[in-house]
Structures are given as structure tokens and as C-alpha cells.
Amino acid sequence: MSHYKSNLRDVEFNLFEVNRIQDYLGTGVWVDLDEETARDILVEIERLAREVFAASYVDQDRIPLKLEEDGEVHLPESVLAGVRAFQEGGWGRLGLPIEMGGMPVPPSLGWATQEFQLAANTTTSWYSDAGLFARVLFEEGTEEQKEFAKLSVEKNWAGTMVLTEPDAGSDVGAGSTKATDQDDGTWHLEGVKRFITGGEHDAADNIIHLVLARPEGAIAGTKGLSLFIVPKYLVNEDGSLGERNGVFATNLEKKMGLKGSTTCELTFGADRPAVGYLVGDVHDGIRQMFLVVEGARMMIGTKSMGTLSSGYLNALEYAKERRQGADLTEATDKTAPKVPIINHPNVRRSLMTQKAYAEGLRALVMYTAWVQDQVILHPGDDKWERRSDLLLPLVKGYSSEKAYEQLAQSLQVFGGSGYTQDYPIEQYLRDTKIDTIYEGTTGIQALDLFFRKIARDQGSALASLASEMTEFVKGGVDDDPLATERERLGVMLDDVQTHIGKMVEHLMGSFAGDSEEIYKVGLLTNALLESLAEVIIAWRLLVHAEIAIGKTEDPFYKGKVESARWFLRITAPQVAVRRASAETEDGGLMELPVEAF
């Protein structure tokens, strides 16, 4: 039986009952896509994920990968079988523009299918689909490079994003990999990069590395970086593979989780030139690379959300079947029958919390994806682009943190059995921990949220979103069954706005001459990310509850209403505590001597 338990019903609810993507299917770039086809795509990808991707989930964790002397890495056959099934189905073209030979679908539908793949088996999913890399190259490249991007899709070549260096870490601008112009349209790269996901494997005939490097003579920092295409094998004019390029994996990281994903140290130009091509013939590397990074951040948030959902559903199934202890009302009766542990209050509390977070994170991801749909539908209205930018650090940062936290509770439901490899939760935890670190740690996401997405935007995107939430709070009817929850949401929104106001006050103080006021901002950013995510999720879950409230004879809809109520019940007090902490922050922690730690 597959470890992976999807929630196709909730995915469809988000897409078609809440966000109503069918209202704009059949129009614009999606003119050839209707609701029936969209639902068929979901069903088929869910089946592929559950039956095929999930089949190699254990193998990719427990069959050790080895870096051979020739720099090659060979994946388990079961993983390669999943990759082949995905590619033979043509699913790598899903979401790509027609001009690339793709099948255009709204981002919301694309991310829904990604949830299934990533949660069933992240590593197989990553080896299968390099559409993000090809699309960025197609959008940013020269005419010749656009053709190269189309060729890479046709031939199912893999792709990587190559940023991190051993001494630079998250400080991308400190990178020292050098690019030397050869005056013939090519560049030679020299340097070492680290933590490169998919840097070497045999799931594709070629791997196209997108590499940040500093041209000789360029300025320091991120502004001096350019983006280069560095293929594993050089490509001949007729599209066939040429000689081996001078980029090799020189180490394979041993990791806590995602062991089947090759995380490599890549060395450029050690024994032979590493030939690269400047993307777009322009030195605009950090902006170009962040088109990939932003897609990767959305992917990580989707991955962690989907994994939590499967973890919760595994725990729920176990709690319904596992009998242990008498009902609490009969605890003193030694002859009382044992009951399923879902009857025990503490287990039930844990399960409802997991359900609320799993559905809440899906609501956040799917709403963000719907906003991305609006960016395409309304290209002249930058409101949607700014809103998407605002939501992205929440999707990546909050989803990854809460998924890991709540998966620990999924394991707890299993008791000691959950700590063994008899059940998938221990692997879920190991495979999910990286999500809080990948593509910018949660602390980096929180800094990005406040400084770039709120302060630099002068609060415009946030104000627009808050206005919609305020209208929802006021939107109840007489005898509104959600009146208490609307009121609670309004209080949460006020708490978040006060929290932000204190941070802006400290920021202004730092501009006015008291430079250490900025420390107070830094001490409050992670708390802001949590609170803002929670108020937005609470809003979206109440939107769900409003749709479901008249249909509660169906357990699915009853569960939607109750998980929304539960989420507000457990998060509203936390948002209030963070507001109080923001109002009293004095920065004293930064004055503490290092020796005191």
C-alpha cells in the first residue's frame, strides 16, 4: 500500500468551489482547457503520484547513492522508472507555453498537481521535471537560447540552480566563482559551488546548470553577478550531445533526509574548461536567477504542505484503527472495552490541530496560486504581482515551519511505532526539515517580508489585502453562524497591524539616527511572518467555512467549518501574544555579551 495519502477532494474544493478557476478556463492562454479536462489532469497526476512516484519512496531513502570515480551518480532503478513514467506521459510540458511545445494551464492547477508529486516522492518529482529552468531560460535568453530551452524540454534534460558557495552560504553576493570572456560568445567558469540539488545523476541525458558567476572586473556584491548556462555535455548544432564539459561533481553531501536527492559540490574548470554562455547576453544575473528562486520557494512551500497533509491522513487512519485504553468516562472500570485512540480527547485535539494546519496551509498555497492566475489574467494591474510577492515568503517560510512542527504531532499519534520505519512519518520529518532552510531560511524569508514586501512597497500590497479582509469581517448577515469567528478575525487583523506599526516605528528611528533601533526590527520579523500568515490563513479558512456552512450534513463540509473554527481558536491568542511582545520589545537581547550565551 502506498505511503502517500492525497486529499484530492480538498484540492478540488479549493480550485473549483472556493477559487472557481472554471470561470476563466477556456479564455486567453487557457482557451483549450475546460473544467472537465482540468479535473482529469488532477486525477491522472494524483494516480501517477500515489501509484508510481510513491513506489520508490523507501528506495530513494535507503539505497545509498555513490559518487563514482568518473564523477557519475547512478540512481535506483525504481526512481528511474518513476521518471520515465512521468516523461512518457508528457507531463513535463504541463504549464509551459505553447511556444515551448507546452500545455498551458493556470498556475493554480499547476501547483495543485505539484502537491501530489512532491508529497508522494520529492526526489522523483525533481528528477522528472525541469520545466522551471527551461521556462526561465526561454523567457530570458537570446533567440538561440530560446531554441536551446525548447530542445531541453523536447529531450527531457534536467536543470539546476547553482548559487551557493562554501564560504558564502546565504550571502550570495560574496560568491567568488569567476567567469572569463573568451571573445567568441563563450565564457570559461572557475570555482566551487555547494549544496546543488540534482547536480549529478543519470535520470537525464544532459543537465543544464544555471550558474551565478562574477565576470572578471565586475563589481563586488550581487550587482556584479551574471547568469550563465553551463551544460554537463556541450550540445552540437544539430542538438546532439558533444563532449563532456568541465563541470564535475566533486562531493556528494550526506544528509539527514531527502537522501535520494543528489546534493552536490560542483567544481568548474578544474581539469578542463567549464564552457558557459551568458544568459540573454546581458549581465543581469541576480534578477534572472531569482526568477528560478521564486519558483523554487513556491515549490518548497507546496512540498511541505503536501507532506503534512499526507502525514495527518496517515495518523488519522491509524487513530481510527488502533485500540488502546478505555474511554475516559470509563477509565476506572477495568473491564471496559478498549476504544480506538481517536476517542481519546488529547489524540482528537492533536488530529484536529493537524487537520486545521494541513487545510490552512493548502488554503494559503492555493490562494497564492490563484493570485498568480490573476497576474496572467490582468497583466496591466500590478496589484496582483505585488500581492503575489507579499504572499511568497509566507508560503515558503510559514508552510515549512508549521509542516515540520505538526508532522511531529503526526508521529506522536503513532506512539513508539511512529519512531520506527514501519510507518512513513519518521521519513516525512527527516525529508521536511530541510524545507525551513532551502532557498533562504525562515529568518531570510521574514526579513524579505518586512523590508522588501512591506516597507519598500510602503505597505501598498498589504493595505489592499487588509482591506479585503476587513470587508469580509463586516460581511456577515443576520444570525450569521460565523459571527464569532469574523469578530475574532478582525481582532487578529488589528493585532497584526499594530505589530507592523511598531516595527515601522523602530525602522524610522534607525533612519533618524539611532542605528540600533534596527535591531528591534530584526528581533520581530519572524514573529511577524507567523502572525501575518495566520491571519491570512484564518481569513481563507473562514471563506471556506462560509461556502460549507449550509452543507454540513456532508462530513467533508462539516469538517471544513470546524477546522476553520479550530484554527482561529488556537492561533488568535498567539497573534495577540506576538503583538504584546512587539509593543514591549526593548532590544535588550542585542546588548547581552556573547559570553553570556
Catalytic residue annotation: 439
Nearest-5° Cα angle at 362, 421 to 258: 35
- Beta bridge partners, 235, equal 241
The Cα–Cα gap between 130 and 120 comes to 18
Sign of CA dihedral 469, 470, 475, 478: positive
Helix (H, G, I), strand (E, B) or coil at 233: strand
Going by the DSSP 8-state scheme, the letter that residue 29 receives in this structure is: G
Nearest-5° Cα angle at 113, 74 to 89: 60
Residues in Cβ contact with 463 at an 8 Å cutoff, skipping those fewer than 6 apart: none
Helix (H, G, I), strand (E, B) or coil at 567: helix
The Cα–Cα gap between 52 and 589 comes to 51
- Shortest CA distance to 231 belongs to which of 243, 222, 220, 223? 243
Task: Please give the grid coordinates belonging to residue 329.
Answer: 468516562
The Cα–Cα gap between 293 and 133 comes to 10
The Cα–Cα gap between 134 and 157 comes to 9
Residues in Cβ contact with 424 at an 8 Å cutoff, skipping those fewer than 6 apart: 3, 57, 310, 311, 314
The Cα–Cα gap between 532 and 551 comes to 30
Task: Please give the grid coordinates belonging to residue 189.
Answer: 567558469
Task: Please give the grid coordinates belonging to residue 356.
Answer: 486545521
CA dist list (Å): 96 to 135, 139, 143, 230 = 7, 11, 17, 22
DSSP string, 424-488: THHHHHHHHHGGGTTTS-HHHHHHIIIIIIIITTTTHHHHHHHHHHHHHHT---TT-TTHHHHHH
Contact present, 392 and 374 (Cβ < 8 Å): no
The Cα–Cα gap between 435 and 433 comes to 5
Residues in Cβ contact with 328 at an 8 Å cutoff, skipping those fewer than 6 apart: 344, 345
